[in-house]
C-alpha cells in the first residue's frame, strides 16, 4: 500500500465484507497528523480474532492475504502513530488510526477519489463521511444520493467530481 488512502479503502472494504449496513468515516488532518476512524455495524470480531488481527497472514476471508492491518500498524507506528481496534461480536468494529506527519509518513493519496470509490462501491451501505482539515470540515451521507443509479457512469462521474470540488475548497 502506497498511500494512507489505500489503508482507508482497505479498512472500509473490510467493513462492507463484514456485512455492515452503515459505515462512518471521520478523517482529520492538520499540520502535524492524519487521523481517521472507521466505525461499522458489521459482524464484529470475537476475542480470538481481535488478538490475532495484527498477525501477518491471519485472515477470516477467502482469497485475502491478511497483510492489510499488519502493514497499516507498521506504517503508522513508524511515524509515532498507532492503530487501535475495538470490536464486539455481532455489534461492529471501530478502527482508529493516527499517522504523524514525519519523514516516515506515507503520502495521503487522493482522498477525493478514495471517498468517491467507497460511496459508489455499494448501494447497500449507508456511508457517512466527515472530513476535516484544520478547522474546515465537510460532511457527506450517501442518503444524499440514494436513488441514483450507481451503475450509470454519468452518476459515478458526478460523485467523483463532487468530492474533488469539496477537497479543492481546502486549497493546497
Helices (H), 18-110: 47-52, 68-78
Task: Name the DSSP class of 167.
Answer: H
Q: Where are the beta strands (DSSP E) in the chain?
A: 22-29, 33-40, 82-88, 92-100, 126-133, 136-141
User: The C-alpha cell of 113 is what?
Assistant: 477519489
What residues have CB less than 8 Å from 34, skipping those under 6 apart? 4, 27, 28, 98, 99, 101, 105, 108
**CATH fold of 4-168:** Heat Shock Protein 90 (3.30.565)
Q: Which helix (H) or strand (E) holds 118?
A: helix 111-121
Comparing C-alpha atoms, which of 48, 61, 76, 72 is closest to residue 19?
A: 61
Judged against a pLDDT cut of 90, whether residue 171 lies above it is answered with no
pLDDT tens digits along 110-129: 999 999 999 998 788 999 99
pLDDT tens digits along 62-87: 656 667 788 999 999 999 999 999 99
pTM of the full predicted structure? 0.91
Amino acid at each position: 500500500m502506497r498511500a494512507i488512502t489505500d489503508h482507508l479503502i482497505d479498512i472500509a472494504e473490510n467493513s462492507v465484507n463484514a456485512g455492515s449496513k452503515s459505515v462512518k468515516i471521520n478523517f482529520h488532518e492538520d499540520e502535524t497528523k492524519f487521523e481517521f476512524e472507521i466505525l461499522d455495524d458489521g459482524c464484529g470480531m470475537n476475542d480470538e480474532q481481535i488478538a490475532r488481527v495484527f498477525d501477518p497472514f491471519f485472515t477470516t476471508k477467502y482469497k485475502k492475504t491478511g497483510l492489510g492491518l499488519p502493514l497499516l500498524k507498521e506504517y503508522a507506528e513508524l511515524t509515532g502513530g498507532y492503530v487501535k481496534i475495538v470490536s464486539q461480536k455481532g455489534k461492529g468494529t471501530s478502527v482508529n488510526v493516527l499517522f504523524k506527519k514525519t519523514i516516515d509518513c506515507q503520502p495521503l493519496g487522493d482522498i477525493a477519489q478514495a471517498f468517491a470509490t467507497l460511496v459508489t462501491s455499494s448501494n447497500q451501505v449507508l456511508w457517512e463521511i466527515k472530513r476535516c482539515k484544520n478547522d474546515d470540515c465537510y460532511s457527506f451521507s450517501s442518503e444524499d444520493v440514494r436513488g441514483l443509479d450507481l451503475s450509470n457512469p454519468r452518476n459515478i462521474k458526478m460523485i467523483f467530481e463532487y468530492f474533488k470540488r469539496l477537497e479543492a475548497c481546502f486549497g493546497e
